[in-house]
Amino acid sequence: MTNTSDTISSARAPARAGLLIGVLVLSAFVMILNETILSVALRDLADDLAVPTTTIQWLTSGFLLTMAVVIPVTGFLLERFTPRQVFLFSLSAFSLGTLLCGLAPGFALLLVGRVVQACGTAVMLPLLMTTVMRLVPQHRRGSMMGTISIVIAVAPAIGPTIGGAVLASLGWRWMFWIVLPLSLAALVTGALQLRLESETRKVPLDVPSVLLSAVGFGGVLYGLSVAGEPAGAEPPVPSWALIAVGLVTLVLFVFRQIRLQRRERALLDLRPFTYRGFVVALVLTALLFMCLIGAAAILLPLYLQTVLHTSTLVSGLAVLPGGLVLGLLGRPVGAWFDKVGARPLVIPGAAAMAVSLWLFATLGPGSSLVAVVAIHVLLMAALGLMMTPLMTESLGTLPDHLYSHGSAILSTLQQVAGALGTTVFVTVATLGTAGVPDAAGLRTAFIVAGCIGLAAFAGSWLVRSTRPAQDS
């Protein structure tokens, strides 16, 4: 019976797999683009909406945090509803959030719109991964993972470029008005084309786990954010108390998942953490995304505009070459991984990442724009060498029945790491200032990023040296 089912599935998949995955990939690209499209507009938004930089950066870190809270729930959604229903919810939420952002009269509604956008984006990532696993034969999943990594990495990498171009010629609201018709077109296309056979079952959603996740991650990251508030802007609750509450709540979340997974009811099954290869790749991926989102997509545009005094258009164009390099490396690196495994790619990639981040720490008011672009290209090339091997390696070490939970953990940690990187780096950069980062603060933040790069290089030597299994 299994062989017959597999034969029918493999016969049907090629005819529709390309179209369906293409719709999902393009939808995910447009949605993930919004993670960082506002990064070059933070200074303008802070002035326009009369809020400090440490507050305005929540338009980015809040987006990422919401995704981290929602992603664990997608396991429930994908079991309870069909892929088509999940897709329609995802694009509908994203489109609604985009509309709210475009109409927002102030910071509060703009943040609400970003949160609604993030709810839709969070659901799309696991849906894309699950669909690839169902439609793509095992011997082609490695190369397809390269395509997915392009979407996950390049969209936030080129977000500042697109945002800078739009901001220079139109205004920050047009960042949303341009995206809205694209998301609506994807919604209509997916509604017409996305027809996947699937079995659904009524599984319980553990609401306490969702609440624990939200309070835990939110407390830690909000505490880190308010720690960088300028003097005189004391939060109602001390930052250390917020962080402590968040950490304690996350511990409770972990204990609850361990108890629930014995009855196969965990919101997020934590058994993938018992596999060494998964843990090593997961930690390195988290460090990578801290630097990709926090340093490359947030700190660098702030440095270009605040220290070098470039326009939003120029700062956006400055990161375009690096984004293109990251995109071009996706498929070739996937092919190299199939031949040599992760270790020969991850170690030199981590070394180059550490070097580039320390080079950023040497920049100052007199640095040339060409040097900035060259260092950014080196950083993006380094991340390109690491991303696809780490993502494929992390999931490849797990048995099939833990793949969905492993992918949820991986997606969650990517977003948490991005939000953590953004919060930590902006907080460090604005310490001792009036909320506006200066050259010294940005240099200190890049030094912190360089230390993270060194930690990633040290950890890269723990990646296993065996080659991936070859299909006969």
pLDDT tens digits for 369-410? 999 999 999 999 999 899 888 888 887 788 777 777 787 788
pLDDT tens digits for 255-301? 998 888 887 777 888 888 999 989 999 999 999 988 887 888 788 88
Residue with the two structure tokens 């545009």? 301
Is 91 a residue whose pLDDT tops 80? yes
Which amino acid appears at position 462 of this protein?
Answer: L
Q: How far apart are CA 174 and CA 151, in angstroms?
A: 22
For residue 458, the model assigns a pLDDT of: 95
For residue 5, the model assigns a pLDDT of: 38
For residue 298, the model assigns a pLDDT of: 80
CA distances for 220 relative to 190, 214, 283, 450, 451, angstroms: 37, 10, 18, 22, 21
pLDDT tens digits for 306-353? 888 887 778 778 888 888 888 788 778 888 887 888 899 999 999 999
pLDDT tens digits for 432-468? 665 667 788 889 899 999 999 999 999 999 998 665 4
Name the pTM for this structure: 0.77
Q: How far apart are CA 286 and CA 387, in angstroms?
A: 10
SS (H, E, C) the chain: CHHHHHHHHHHHHHHHHHHHHHHHHHHHHHHHHCCCCCHHHHHHHHHHHCCCHHHHCHHHHHHHHHHHHHHHHHHHHHHHCCHHHHHHHHHHHHHHHHHHHHHCCCHHHHHHHHHHHHHHHHHHHHHHHHHHHHHCCHHHHHHHHHHHHHHHHHHHHHHHHHHHHHHHHCCCCHHHHCHHHHHHHHHHHHHHHCCCCCCCCCCCCCHHHHHHHHHHHHHHHHHHHHCCCCCCCCCCCCHHHHHHHHHHHHHHHHHHHHHHHCCCCCCCCCHHHHCHHHHHHHHHHHHHHHHHHHHHHHHHHHHHHHCCCCCHHHHHHHCHHHHHHHHHHHHHHHHHHHHHCCHHHHHHHHHHHHHHHHHHHCCCCCCCHHHHHHHHHHHHHHHHHHHHHHHHHHHHCCCHHHHHHHHHHHHHHHHHHHHHHHHHHHHHHHCCCCCCCCHHHHHHHHHHHHHHHHHHHHHHCCCCCCCCCCCC
Q: What residue ranges do the domains of the chain occupy? A: 12-193+267-460, 206-266
Burial class of residue 48 (count of CB atoms within 10 Å of its CB; 0-12, 13-18, 19+): middle
By the 8 A CB rule, do 39 and 29 touch? no
Where is pLDDT greater, at 251 or 186?
A: 251
For residue 124, the model assigns a pLDDT of: 84
For residue 224, the model assigns a pLDDT of: 66
Which amino acid appears at position 370 of this protein?
Answer: V
- The superfamily CATH assigns to domain 12-193+267-460 is MFS general substrate transporter like domains (1.20.1250.20)
Tokens for 255, please give them: 């204990």
CA 394 to chain centre: 16
pLDDT tens digits for 17-49? 667 777 888 888 888 777 667 766 777 788 788
Q: How far apart are CA 211 and CA 170, in angstroms?
A: 40
| 165 band by pLDDT with thresholds 50, 70 and 90 | confident
Where is pLDDT greater, at 399 or 251?
A: 251
Instruction: Report the range of poorest mean pLDDT among 5-19, 29-43, 129-143.
Output: 5-19
From 312, 300, 423, select the one nearest 363 (Cα to Cα).
300
For residue 11, the model assigns a pLDDT of: 37
CA 16 to chain centre: 28
Q: How far apart are CA 437 and CA 140, in angstroms?
A: 46
What's the N-to-C CA distance of the chain in angstroms? 23
pLDDT tens digits for 177-213? 888 998 898 888 888 877 766 666 676 778 898 889 8
